[in-house]
Structure 1
Amino acid sequence: MNRILFVCTGNTCRSPMAEGIMRKILSEEGLTDIEVRSAGVAAYEGTQLSDHAASVLKNKGCVGPSASTFLSQILIDWADLVLTMTSSHKRHTIQLYPEAVDKVYTLKEYVQDDPQLADKISEMESLITELELKQALSGQITEEERERVLTLQKELPLPDIADPFGGSYREYEKCAWEIEECLIKLAAKLKKDR
């Protein structure tokens, strides 16, 4: 696995912070053969990073992308692994590029290392897919199915990294810290898999 693509909405906050922080971690860990990029499912090509995201990266000694990039087939083809900031980004990416389904994960999902939690996440995703299909075909969702989804939602940690867009510098720092925590686990996983 040599190419990782981080995906968020506008590619001005979360995914550029992930890209910049991951570059620094890869360098520190001697994983210099791994490339990282970022993109947004609703990015306006060439938009500058948010001021707070740029400041957070600078204060951490990281370099992010110079401008936003729209998620494209070229980037999907380039990537060996696509890590999204939220489950909705994941679903959107898979809907646009269904051939990439086997390499698209949320960042938190990919780095979690609890097998029981992995089983619950897998069950939840399968159940939601099944229910969406059922609903699309005008089927009725049973009370039992609704209850199972609610139970799983209560048992699972939030799979998303919250969007700091429009927030304070402190909110961007908090977001970057959450991303960095995941990226440290990612680097350890990459080293282990070598």
Structure 2
Amino acid sequence: MKKVLFVCTGNTCRSPMAEALLREMAGRNRLPVEVKSAGVSAISGIKPSPQAVQVLKEKGIAYEHESQSLTPQLIDWSDLVLSMTGAHKKMIVHQFPHSAGKVYTLKEYALWGEGIDDIHQKLDRLYMEAENKRAEIRKRFDLKADEPWSETASLALDKALQPLKKEEKKYLDRIRAARHLDVADPFGGDVDHYRKCAEELKEYIVRIVDRWKQELPPSNSASE
């Protein structure tokens, strides 16, 4: 049973809609998932935005909710914490350091199944591996530290580094994309802002659900 906690600011707009959408999709696809939501600056007991309720109703989802603040108990309950923005993620990890390994932005997790910090670590390891490759080529061709590279040695190095360069590009593309991984807050906007937000949430939650469906035995999966 996966236990997923969505987190936004006030727990009246984005995270409640995400909670309702995932609960509906998980139920329809018979996925063993429990879902809750909270806010990093929430006042407990506030009803969700009327626009959020309307948008969910338009999708055939009846939803009752009262806001709650993010607590140690909710963090400990969850297996996976999905924040709406990178700023939320930083706040969560700062306040609850032990949660670092299970906190992602929604889009990070949906797109890659890992966080941007993990990607930076992989990139660092990749650069270390590249340096090891250079050292191996130098040793193979008996090149001194200040000795120019021969054409043959350079070609051998280029061939050895090609797979690493492909990995580097993938990670750098993800790091650049991370600047645009926040879900904008519709608070204060009209119902169309909420519809746009809900569609954005749905797009990424569908990705997650599809990935989880692949992890199920064939007899447990259901059609969309």
TM range (shorter): 0.7 to 0.9
CA deviation vs aligned residue, 1:24-55 (integer Å, no higher than 9, x gap): 10111111x21000000000000110110111
Alpha-carbon offset, residue 190 of structure 1: 1.6
Q: Identity percentage over the alignment? A: 42
Q: 1:48 to 1:87 in 2, by over 3 A?
A: same
* Aligned ranges 1:31-70 → 2 under 5 Å: 31=31, 33-70=32-69
Aligned counterparts of 1:119 and 1:12: Cα–Cα separation in 2? 27
Question: Which of structure 1's runs of 4+ aligned residues deviate more than 2 A?
Answer: 118-124, 151-155
* Aligned ranges 1:127-166 → 2 under 5 Å: 155-156=176-177, 158-166=180-188
Q: Which among 168, 171, 186 is matched to residue 193 of structure 2?
A: 171
Alpha-carbon offset, residue 186 of structure 1: 0.8
Alpha-carbon offset, residue 65 of structure 1: 4.3
Aligned counterparts of 1:179 and 1:186: Cα–Cα separation in 2? 11
Stretches of structure 2 that go unaligned for 5 or more consecutive residues are 125-171, 217-224
> Do residues 77 (structure 1) and 99 (structure 2) align?
no
Aligned counterparts of 1:98 and 1:110: Cα–Cα separation in 2? 19
CA RMSD between the two structures: 2.7
Alpha-carbon offset, residue 183 of structure 1: 0.6
Contact 2:25 2:209 in 1 (8 A): yes
> Do residues 92 (structure 1) and 114 (structure 2) align?
no
Q: 1:154 to 1:100 in 2, by over 3 A?
A: closer
Alpha-carbon offset, residue 113 of structure 1: 3.8
Structure-1 residue corresponding to 2:101: 102
Alpha-carbon offset, residue 10 of structure 1: 0.1
| TM-score, scaled relative to structure 2 | 0.68
| TM-score, scaled relative to structure 1 | 0.78
Residue identity matched to 2:103:
V
* Aligned ranges 1:183-194 → 2 under 5 Å: 183-194=205-216
